[in-house]
Amino acid sequence: MRYLGQNLPMDDLVAEVSVAKPDMVLFSATTSGAALHLRQLCELLAGIEPPRPIIGYGGRAFNLRPELRDEIAGVYLGATAAEAVESMDDLLTERARRGVRNV
């Protein structure tokens, strides 16, 4: 696991993900503006060379405005931390079952 910070420039994040090839990239947004800012970033991440990471997201913005979930390329992980952990486990288990590895 690697935490890259909250204000990493978009191009730097995409470059880091392209090189590191993580199994999953997670985002949280508290405000609607932050959630909408994720739209472009998640589209860029969805377009990197395979194997692509699972893009997961959550946070207060998506709980208060569920329609924002339709704006983001990725998987909404749930309304609580417990739901997010369960969703992440399910997604990574399914990825492993299909034989997709990012090594």
Structural domain contains residue 3 = no
pLDDT tens per residue across span 1-50 = 777 777 788 899 999 999 999 999 999 999 999 999 899 999 999 889 88
Domain that holds residue 65: 10-97
Structural domain contains residue 5 = no
Backbone angles phi, psi at 81, to 5 degrees: -60, -40
pLDDT band at 91 (very low <50, low <70, confident <90, very high): very high
Q: Is the pLDDT of residue 102 over 60?
A: no
Give me the mean pLDDT over the 90-102 stretch: 84
User: What whole-number distance in Å separates Cα of residue 39 and Cα of residue 41?
Assistant: 6
Residue 4: the pLDDT is 75
User: What whole-number distance in Å separates Cα of residue 35 and Cα of residue 38?
Assistant: 5
Structural domain contains residue 68 = yes
Domains held by the chain: number: 1
**Cβ within 8 Å of residue 22, ≥6 positions away:** 2, 53, 102
Confirm if 10 and 27 have CB atoms less than 8 A apart.
no
Structural domain contains residue 102 = no
Using left for φ > 0, alpha for ψ between -120 and 50, and beta otherwise, residue 46 falls in alpha
Closest CA to 35 of 64, 78, 3: 64
User: What whole-number distance in Å separates Cα of residue 87 and Cα of residue 90?
Assistant: 5
Structural domain contains residue 90 = yes
Q: What CATH number does residue 87 fall under?
A: 3.40.50.280
Structural domain contains residue 41 = yes
